[in-house]
Amino acid sequence: MVSVQFKDLGNIEYGDAWDMQEQIMKQGLDIKAERISAPEQAQGKEIGQHLFICEHPHVYTLGKSGALENLLINNQHMQSLGVTFYKTNRGGDITYHGPGQMVAYPVLDLEAFKTDLGWYMRSLEEVVIRTIGEYGISGARLEGATGVWIDADNPAKARKICAMGVRCSRWITIHGLALNMNTDLNFFNFIVPCGITDKGVTSMQKELGAAVDEVAVKQTFLKHFEEIFGAQLQNHN
């Protein structure tokens, strides 16, 4: 079992959460560099494993390989909606974060788990698939795309319930996933989500026809994260 420090950040501005992850990643990268350049000094220095969950105020984020054309509104319109915008260094294209959505940021050194980014992404997807499965929602993977989808085998009906995008440097990960629980899906109308034009988005609320208990969903997610990653979460205040 790998010990992982867990913290629920509550409602936090996107840039603040990003800065925090970058800082933790830098600390880990510095330790790895020191292990090579000055192994005696690095003795006893451990790279921390972290999992953060949070919710963001309305924000659109664009991945490093994304196209700005997938943002369909101008700055003035965004301001009127109360939405901010960030260009990020994660993979993937454009997505939306906002109230009613669970965002999870695992800041992990995969050398403590498995040095395989594909395995990492599939494992995150599996955590979400098992989480929504407990609510009677059948999630699946869509070939050629990341995230978790509903009716993935039916091109006319496939819709995304969880978006994913990560950055990995020397096996340390930042960014993560966003699961739509009780999310206002109207905000997705102003972007081309993940750059995919022929697929929709959905939420647990939309699939079930009723709002879900967000605290319970988060607890279910944490349980399956521990299972899939062989991790023991330690509450960190």
Residue 194 annotated as catalytic: yes
Which residue out of 54, 162, 168, 194 is catalytically annotated?
Answer: 194
214's tokens: 């967000």
CA distance 158 to 15: 31
- The first and second tokens of residue 100, run together, are 């009613």
For residues 146 and 197, give the distance between their C-alpha atoms in angstroms, rounded to a whole number. Answer: 15
Q: Is 71 exposed, middle or buried (0-12, 13-18, 19+ CB in 10 A)?
A: middle
Return the ∠ at Cα 73 (arms to 70 and 76), rounded to 5°. Answer: 145
Strands (E), 34-147: 50-55, 59-62, 84-87, 94-97, 101-107, 139-140
Q: Which residues are catalytic?
A: 194
